[in-house]
A = this chain, B = another copy of it.
């Protein structure tokens, strides 16, 4: 497929079709990503105000075979929103389409523009005493359209699922410029293939999401939160089963962390409160979001005592105030910042079958240490089998000394993940940075099918070229 750049004549012709001020010259903020691992280029930045304007832009690009890069909050970690090896693309930023269109507490549905910032959706939901559970570190910047395009995960997947599980309907512009009006609030609708789930997770390669109807949930009436010291990741998994036995789906979060995370926090962020006198090898943050019938049952205390008796837990702290609960969460949420300050050699967002996860951690620790004594910080969403598995230089040594190892470490970790039946991208997607991994580890029949779908829906290959399938 030969694509053409968004050159001056194309841009002028497009400008004439759109309200004044819809197009602007490229600015650096659309061409960078959080960790500086990818660079972008653009012919022009488009800032549409409606699905109709998105449609007009995409239709023009399709006719002229000009590449389109959809741009949300720009917080993606796999280079899906940036490319510097395409004929100058049109970057379509959804930032002006940022309204909450409606909130319906009795139906538990919120309808939003795709450019809505995640934290604003939280706020609009809370205003009607409801919860929109998708939550992640970048929530103040990330847009729901990007969250859906990448099927974002985050902190509440264990209880409420990934982004796709929280979406009832979509409005989207397909690569030919046609608008799919699929903003249904229906919870059951079996009328044809699941176009919604096909677009969710397609990382902007099959169309641009312009609006979404999302599920809301009752807000738990109270929370119980604890940090519990466990002898091993295996014990942590048994503890999770025990917690679910006690409170069912009310286990809202179950996050595994290790001594390494505490040491990094102590070194880089002394302001973060660490309740442990001695740093334990492994511990978990457990959060219960309780219904009225569960509140006041001291469920966490029940778990703690039962788990102590079963030797699944050796020590721990149950938050006794909202402040302490926040402290526990701050500890967990500060880990990525501490990691950035230490400086990783290679980061991995992997998932494993739950029953193989403890063995993977044991083997993976050896693997990382085998590279000149690199340190591992392994933490994450244990109940989802999702680990952030990141390698760092040995203590008091510099990242740069070891940066030559990056490719080798990444490849060794991903090989091991594949051996254990896991995935090299649990929640961040494929983007442009992991396309080789998909070709290496993906199922050939699946990849052939995905290519056929891409060619069928985007025959000119204009939508976010190079993402996922390298086409």
Contact = CB atoms under 8 A, between A and B. Distances in A.
Given A186-B385, A220-B248, A438 B293 contact: no
A422 interface: yes
A96 interface: no
The number of times this chain is found in the oligomer is 2
Interface in A417-451: 421-430, 434, 437-438, 441-443, 445-450
A202 B193 contact: yes
Given A188-B426, A291-B246, A426-B188, A107 B455 contact: no
B384 A187 contact: yes
A198 B293 CA distance: 39
A248 B453 contact: no
Contact of A245 (B185, B201, B291): B291
A446 B182 contact: yes
A12 interface: no
A354 interface: yes
A187 B446 contact: no
A256 to B, nearest CB: 14
Interface in A152-201: 153, 157, 161-162, 164-165, 174, 178-182, 184-195, 197-198, 200-201
Given A245-B292, A250-B248, A194 B188 contact: no
B427 A186 contact: no
A150 B191 CA distance: 10
B191 A424 contact: yes
Nearest to A356: B107
A411 interface: no
Contact of A248 (B104, B249, B297): B249
Given A302-B293, A423-B184, A193 B468 contact: yes
Contacts of A354: 106-109, 185, 187
Contact of A193 (B109, B297, B385, B453): B453
B457 A449 contact: yes
Query: Interface size for chain A: under 10, 10 to 19, 20 to 34, or 35 or more residues?
Result: 35 or more
Contacts of A143: none
B151 A430 contact: no
Contacts of A246: 291-293
A308 to B, nearest CB: 17
B192 A445 contact: no
Interface string A95-139: 000000000101111000000000000000000000000000000
A192 B162 contact: no
A299 interface: yes
Given A153-B188, A194-B198, A249 B249 contact: yes
A457 B446 contact: no
A192 B442 contact: yes
Interface in A272-314: 290-294, 297, 299, 302
8 contacts: A106-B354, A181-B443, A185-B353, A188-B351, A248-B290, A249-B291, A294-B297, A452-B456
Given A157-B187, A190-B425, A294-B294, 8 more contacts: A106-B354, A108-B354, A174-B449, A187-B386, A188-B426, A246-B291, A291-B294, A297-B297
Interface of A: 104, 106-109, 150-151, 153, 157, 161-162, 164-165, 174, 178-182, 184-195, 197-198, 200-202, 206, 218, 220-221, 237-238, 241, 244-250, 290-294, 297, 299, 302, 351-355, 381, 383-386, 421-430, 434, 437-438, 441-443, 445-450, 452-457, 468-469
